[in-house]
Homo-oligomer: A and B are copies of this chain.
Amino acid sequence: MTLDSPQRFITRIYYAETDAGGVVYHSKYLDLAERGRMEFLRRIGQSVGAVQAAYGLIFAVRHCDIEYVAPARLEDEIVIATHLTELGGASVQFRQVINKTLDQRLTVLAKLQISLVAINAAGKPVRIPDGLRAALQNFLEPLAE
């Protein structure tokens, strides 16, 4: 993963992401992760809008497992790593790591496994079309056994 790879997205923490505990609210990590996935798709030429226009499908989250390692705080610089680990008939799976930049190094804040399914306008699962599949295949990084 190079600095400008599609799998890497940098953002920052603003007040809207924090809660009265003084840290980032736990559900906001899922929002950060989605920014990472949307940017990954956009940069490989398969933005959410382009995919919907071309194929009439969107990806819906079916399962998410998230481990919280350390809290993010206001104004932290956040680096989101997004890796496509599975490409099924109608589904995709990502592994994502949310880091903060601290002293020019990355510190892990949270780790996610997230599964999505391609659905049509009626909400029914549909096979991922060939064009989209080929684009995703180029970035597939299966988890080591």
The smallest C-beta distance from A121 to any residue of chain B, in angstroms, reads: 9
Q: Are B62 and A64 in contact (CB under 8 A)?
A: no
Binary per-residue interface labels of chain A (63-91) against chain B in the complex, 1 for a CB within 8 Å, 0 otherwise = 11111100101110000000000000000
Would you list which residues of chain A between 33 and 72 have a CB under 8 Å from chain B? 34-35, 38-39, 42, 47-49, 58, 60-68, 71
Binding site secondary structure of chain A: mixed
Q: Is A30 an interface residue (CB 8 A)?
A: yes
Q: CA of A65 to CA of B38 in the docked complex: distance in angstroms?
A: 22
Q: Are B60 and A74 in contact (CB under 8 A)?
A: no
Residues of B contacting A16 in the complex (Cβ-Cβ under 8 angstroms): 19, 25, 27, 31, 34-35
Contact A34-B61, Cβ < 8 Å, known A42-B75, A75-B47:
no
Residues of B contacting A19 in the complex (Cβ-Cβ under 8 angstroms): 15-16, 18-20
Q: Is A14 an interface residue (CB 8 A)?
A: yes
- Residue from B31, B62, B68, B74 within 8 A of A20 (CB atoms): B74
The closest CB in chain B to the CB of A20 belongs to B18
Q: Are A74 and B49 in contact (CB under 8 A)?
A: yes
- Residue from B14, B35, B66 within 8 A of A38 (CB atoms): B14
Which A residues have a C-beta under 8 Å from some C-beta of B? 12, 14-16, 18-23, 25-28, 30-31, 34-35, 38-39, 42, 47-49, 58, 60-68, 71, 73-75, 123
